[in-house]
Amino acid sequence: DAGVIQSPRHEVTEMGQEVTLRCKPISGHDYLFWYRQTMMRGLELLIYFNNNVPIDDSGMPEDRFSAKMPNASFSTLKIQPSEPRDSAVYFCASSTSRGLSEKLFFGSGTQLSVL
Amino acid sequence: GENVEQHPSTLSVQEGDSAVIKCTYSDSASNYFPWYKQELGKGPQLIIDIRSNVGEKKDQRIAVTLNKTAKHFSLHITETQPEDSAVYFCAARSDTGRRALTFGSGTRLQVQP
């Protein structure tokens, strides 16, 4: 398996533009998580899905952020409009509730810079 | 909700020495405590985890200890090597309520050759 795949790896945009981050979880995993990493706040949970259904979005900063999971193999995190304070590394991660392992598999992240 | 505090934020050791990173958590319902290692430009990777029904777990040079009464757990790395240099995160989670991990703020470990 190729692991969790995120795209793009890097995104540079201007304030006010729409940004869409993409994630393909590991096949068969039923949980998907979006985390944001910054120096100041560390790894923060934004939202997570179980079987494509959003379970907890209390970490989504504000209405400018939205996330979808239209099927088991794809999720998007959208920021509209983007602001400089959104600059961070955004990680997608997936896991399975089946079996004994609770391991969370992270993608390589998307480095977002909003100018 | 859960709050996880991690210390120290940076740690420098000589190759071959031991390194210890400590975390405390606030939610007494938490029962799963993993540790992740993050190398530069990569996502965090699980290196060891422990459940609240055990007090200690070892995997080669890495060990984790848990004190549920005091609500703290620690990562111990023995015989450190330069490739152990990375950022380490502790995390906590309960089986009830929110399934997602709450992470500590991270420890940057530098192993000096």
> In this structure, are residues A76 and A24 in contact, taking their beta carbons and an 8 Å threshold?
no
Reported as a single tens digit per residue, the pLDDT across A36-72 is 999 888 999 999 999 999 999 999 988 999 999 999 9
CB–CB contact B43 A4 (8 Å): yes
The answer, for B49 touching chain A at a CB cutoff of 8 Å, is yes
Looking at residue A1, what is its pLDDT? 66
Looking at residue B1, what is its pLDDT? 81
Half-sphere exposure (CA, 13 Å, Cβ side) for A77?
32
Nearest to A48 among B41, B44, B100 (CB): B100
Which residues of A are less than 8 Å from B46 in CB distance? Answer: 103-104
Distance CA B7, CA A19 (A): 35
CB–CB contact A42 B104 (8 Å): yes
> In this structure, are residues B74 and B88 in contact, taking their beta carbons and an 8 Å threshold?
no
Coil, strand or helix at A93: strand
Closest chain A residue by Cα to residue B39: A108
**For residues A24, A90, A105 and B35, what is the CA-based torsion angle, rounded to 10 degrees?**
-170
The answer, for B113 touching chain A at a CB cutoff of 8 Å, is no
DSSP state of A84: G
CB–CB contact A56 B100 (8 Å): yes
CB–CB contact B32 A102 (8 Å): yes
Residue B50 has pLDDT above 70, yes or no: yes
> In this structure, are residues B13 and B111 in contact, taking their beta carbons and an 8 Å threshold?
yes
Distance CA A39, CA A63 (A): 23
The answer, for A65 touching chain B at a CB cutoff of 8 Å, is no
The answer, for A107 touching chain B at a CB cutoff of 8 Å, is yes
Percent of chain B with pLDDT over 70: 100
